[in-house]
Structure formats: C-alpha cells, structure tokens
C-alpha cells in the first residue's frame, strides 16, 4: 500500500464511522473479547490481517494526493469532535462502540497504518 492509498483507506473508513458511507468490510458476529483486546492491549495491531477490500489495489490519481490527504485529516477530526449521536453504525467486527471506543479505534487504526511508513 502506498501512502496515498493509506490516506484514502483511512478517509473511507472514517466516513463509514460517521455514517456517511457504507463499510467495505463484511460484518461478522461481534466478539467482546476480541474487541476488548484490540482496543485496550498496549501493543501495536498485528499486520497483514485481511478484513475487506484491499486498499493497495485501488488506483489513484497522484494529483489528488493533497485533497485526499486533507480528507483523511478532516474525517479524523470529524470523529474526534463528533457527539455520541454521530456513531450510530456498528463496527463490522467489533459491533456497537461507544463514542470513546470509536475514538480509540480511530486512533489505533490510524496509528497502525502510519507505523507501516515508519511514522
């Protein structure tokens, strides 16, 4: 995955969190233990797990990088500033999340992808 593909992947998922777009990951039966471990263990997420569409397969126009970068930042800020009523869609793997859990997920998901680029 390129940095550009990663930014688009983050923005698309942030839009899904905020109910602006559908999830591109098939829903599974939520597992509270997996949810707790993923959101609370003090270690980086495992790399290489596949849950849905492959963001590395998306062809992007390099000229769109500035706009896509800004969208990733704006959508992440949207999650940070959203009220509890903004999070009505369940996570496709973890199920229903509180506002704090959604924000924790957004941080961990973003951190997971930034680590792929040594950031």
Total number of residues shown for the chain = 119
Output the pLDDT for position 26. Answer: 84
* Average pLDDT taken over every residue of the chain: 91
For 98-108, the pLDDT digits (tens) are 999 999 999 99
Q: What is the mean pLDDT of residues 46-72?
A: 89
Q: What is the pLDDT of residues 82-99, one digit of tens each?
A: 998 999 889 999 999 999
Q: Which residue has the higher pLDDT, 50 or 12?
A: 12
If you ran DSSP here, which 8-state letter would residue 91 be given? B
74 vs 114: CA distance, rounded Å: 16
Q: How far apart are CA 52 and CA 117, in angstroms?
A: 21
Within 2-98, residue ranges assigned H as helices are 3-17, 32-40, 65-81
As a dihedral over the C-alpha atoms of residue 26, residue 59, residue 64, residue 69, rounded to 10 degrees, the angle is: 40
């Amino acid at each position: 995955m390129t940095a550009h593909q990663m930014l688009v992947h983050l923005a698309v998922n942030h839009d899904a969190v905020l109910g602006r777009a559908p999830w591109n990951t098939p829903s599974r039966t939520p597992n509270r233990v997996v949810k707790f471990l993923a959101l609370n263990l003090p270690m980086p997420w495992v790399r290489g797990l596949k849950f849905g569409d492959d963001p590395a397969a998306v062809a992007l126009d390099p000229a769109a990088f500035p706009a896509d970068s800004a969208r990733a930042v704006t959508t992440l800020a949207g999650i940070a500033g959203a009220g509890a009523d903004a999070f009505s869609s369940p996570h496709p793997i973890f199920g229903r999340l509180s506002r704090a859990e959604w924000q924790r997920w957004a941080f961990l998901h973003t951190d997971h992808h930034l680590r792929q680029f040594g950031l």
